[in-house]
């Protein structure tokens, strides 16, 4: 298996952590080395958050993915996709939740939210998948399932079977939310 670098970006409070927990457990079960790096602290308070996941058959050295190094970027928000696009490998895939959360400088009118981010991404990256994960999650019954929808979409790009993912969801998510998350994963997978 070739090394896999996955960058998960979003806004504090969007539930970006679940994806990295699942990926870490999958890598461990399949016998790979894995490192995960996340930003804590002030970023929990609605700031820009990023999680790095690195999986390899060999020893993973740096816990960080760097510019031009991500095979997959999962962006929970459009501006965050735009902010982190330089981290995508030339032939990497980016999955974007087409939701916009305006940062305070934009709300205050001191900065502008970049126009036509989706077009920019399509013009600059080879594999771009945009989906309304918030809408899909709402259909499934909870806006909190945005992360699982995106996970489903990304899963197609990774060399782990769907069953492996579902099994990890069953192990990780609270029992009463398992069905909802399985549905959200499936819808993301089909998107």
Partner 1 sequence: MEKKIMLGNEAFARGAFEAGVKVISSYPGTPSTEVTEAAAQYDQIHVEWAPNEKVGTEVAVGASIGGARALSCMKHVGLNVAADPFFTAAYTGVTGGLVLLVADDNGCHSSQNEQDSRYHGRGAGVPVLEPSNAQECKDFMKYAYDLSEKYDTPVLMRSNTRISHSRGIVTVEERQERELKPYEKNIQKYVAMPAMAKKLHVAQEKRLNQIEEDSKDFPINRMEINDKKIGIITSGICYQYVKEALPNASVLKMGIINPLPKALIKEFAEQVEEVYVIEEGNPFFEEQIRAMGIPAKGKGMFTIQGEYSANMIRKAFTGEAPECVPAQEDAPGRPPLLCAGCPHRGLFYILGKLKKTVMGDIGCYTLGALPPTSAMDACLCMGASITMAHGFEKAKGKEAARDTVAVLGDSTFFHSGITGLINMNYNQATGTVIILDNRITGMTGHQDNPSTGKNAKGQEAPAIDIAQLCRACGVEHIVEVDPFDLPAVEKAIKEETAREELSVIITKRPCALIVKQPDIPHVITDKCKNCKMCMDIGCPAIELENGKPVIAAERCVGCGLCKRVCPFDAIEEEVK
Query: What six digits make up the tokens of 143?
Result: 């806006």
10 Å CB burial of residue 90 (0-12, 13-18, 19+) is exposed
| Contacts to partner 1 from residues 54-113, by CB under 8 A | 60-64, 66-69, 79-80, 82-83, 85-90, 101-108, 110-113
**Nearer to partner 1 by C-beta: 56 or 178?**
56
CA 136-21-1 angle, 5° bins: 95
Whichever of 181 and 190 has its CB closer to partner 1, that residue is 181
Q: Is 122 in the site for partner 1 (CB under 8 A)?
A: no
**34 binds partner 1 per the rule CB under 8 A:** yes
The CA radius of gyration of the chain, in Å to the nearest whole number, is: 16
Least distance from C-beta 107 to partner 1, angstroms?
5
The tokens for 108 are 């205050």
- Position 175 contacts partner 1 (CB under 8 A): no
Tell whether residue 37 is a contact of partner 1 (CB under 8 A).
yes
Would you state the structure tokens that stand for residue 138, as one six-digit string?
């709402």
CA distance 47 to 110: 17
Q: How far apart are CA 85 and CA 170, in angstroms?
A: 32
Q: Which positions touch partner 1 (CB under 8 A)?
A: 11-13, 24-25, 28, 33-48, 60-64, 66-69, 79-80, 82-83, 85-90, 101-108, 110-114, 124-125, 134, 143
């Amino acid at each position: 298996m070739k090394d896999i670098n996955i960058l998960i970006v979003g806004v504090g409070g969007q539930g970006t952590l679940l994806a990295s927990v699942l990926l870490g457990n999958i890598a461990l079960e399949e016998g790979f080395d894995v490192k995960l790096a996340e930003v804590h602290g002030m970023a929990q308070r609605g700031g820009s958050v990023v999680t790095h996941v690195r999986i390899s058959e060999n020893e993973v050295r740096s816990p960080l993915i760097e510019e031009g190094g991500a095979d997959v970027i999962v962006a929970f928000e459009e501006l965050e996709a735009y902010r982190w696009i330089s981290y995508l490998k030339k032939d990497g895939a980016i999955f974007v939740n087409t939701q916009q959360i305006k940062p305070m400088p934009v709300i205050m009118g001191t900065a502008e939210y970049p126009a036509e981010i989706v077009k920019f991404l399509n013009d600059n990256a080879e594999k771009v998948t945009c989906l309304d994960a918030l809408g899909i999650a709402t259909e499934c019954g909870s806006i909190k399932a945005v992360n699982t929808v995106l996970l489903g979409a990304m899963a197609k790009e990774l060399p782990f079977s769907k069953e492996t993912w579902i099994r990890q969801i069953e192990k990780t998510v609270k029992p009463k939310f398992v069905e909802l998350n399985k549905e959200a994963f499936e819808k993301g997978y089909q998107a």
